[in-house]
């Protein structure tokens, strides 16, 4: 399995229609999951900046539901594969939903929690409603404690394509 990145420059961007799109593709072996193909499209035009990425398993998989209890700082290192069709549910904090702008990526538990934390920071800083700001602040505190290993939280992934996973013996699949 080669981890060499294949790159194509000068393709037509689906948004601005200029020949400024760069395509990247890489195959990678993910332990306990198998071979995946990671690909992305990025428009190099400064005004456009279109970006889309995804992860697909080389082997066909059925829909998955996976749960993982984050209980320690060590759990922050657990590998997470998220396809663009996956929903990630983070305890009572919030969800990362699929949609037309959704991306697939390979990260770890800490990366997932930091993505949610950044979203909540945006809500905290831009919400007009005091209650909404306070709720976001409390969720940020909770996630910070989890990241520091001082609290626990459940993370669930639901993916109809089966191209997502939490790569750990602690993960429970349905």
- Ordered by where they begin, the domains of the chain are 1-59 (2.20.25), 60-174 (2.60.120.1040)
Confidence (pTM): 0.77
Tell me the backbone φ, ψ of residue 107, rounded to 5 degrees.
-150, -155
Question: How far is Cα 122 from Cα 62, in angstroms, rounded to an integer?
Answer: 35
Q: Given this model, what pLDDT does residue 103 score?
A: 83
Sequence-separated (6 or more) residues with CB below 8 Å from residue 17: none
Helix (H) or strand (E) holding 83: none
Angle, helices 109-126/130-147, rounded to nearest 10 degrees: 160
What number is the average pLDDT over the span 93-119? Answer: 89
Residues 151-169 pLDDT 10s: 999 999 999 988 899 999 9
CB 106 within 8 A of CB 38: yes
Q: How far is CA 164 from the centre of its chain?
A: 9
Which two tokens mark 28?
A: 């990678």
Q: What angle do CA 102, 94, 36 make, to 5 degrees?
A: 40
Query: Quick check: 99 pLDDT over 80?
Result: no
Which two tokens mark 64?
A: 């998955």
User: For 50, which DSSP code?
Assistant: -
Residues 125-159 pLDDT 10s: 998 999 999 999 999 999 999 999 999 999 999 99
Region of residue 142 (left: phi > 0; alpha: psi -120 to 50; beta: else): alpha
Q: Given this model, what pLDDT does residue 105 score?
A: 86
- Residue 38: other Cβ atoms inside 10 A: 20
Q: How far is CA 137 from the centre of its chain?
A: 22
Residues 20-56 pLDDT 10s: 999 999 988 876 677 888 899 999 999 999 998 888 8
Q: Given this model, what pLDDT does residue 31 score?
A: 67
């Amino acid at each position: 399995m080669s981890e060499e990145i294949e790159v194509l420059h000068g393709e037509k961007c689906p948004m601005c229609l200029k020949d400024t799109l760069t395509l990247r593709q890489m195959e990678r072996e993910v332990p306990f999951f198998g071979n995946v193909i990671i690909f992305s499209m990025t428009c190099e035009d400064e005004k456009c900046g279109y970006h889309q990425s995804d992860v697909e398993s080389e082997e066909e998989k059925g829909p998955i539901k996976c749960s993982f209890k984050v209980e320690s700082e060590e759990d922050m290192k657990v590998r997470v594969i998220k396809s663009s069709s996956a929903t990630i549910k983070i305890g009572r904090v919030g969800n990362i939903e699929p949609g037309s702008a959704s991306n697939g990526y390979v990260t770890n538990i800490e990366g997932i929690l930091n993505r949610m934390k950044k979203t909540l920071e945006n809500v905290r800083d831009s919400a007009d409603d005091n209650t909404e700001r306070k709720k976001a602040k409390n969720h940020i505190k909770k996630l910070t404690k989890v990241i520091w290993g001082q609290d626990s939280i459940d993370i669930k992934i639901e993916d109809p394509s089966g191209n997502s996973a939490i790569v750990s013996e602690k993960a429970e699949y349905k």
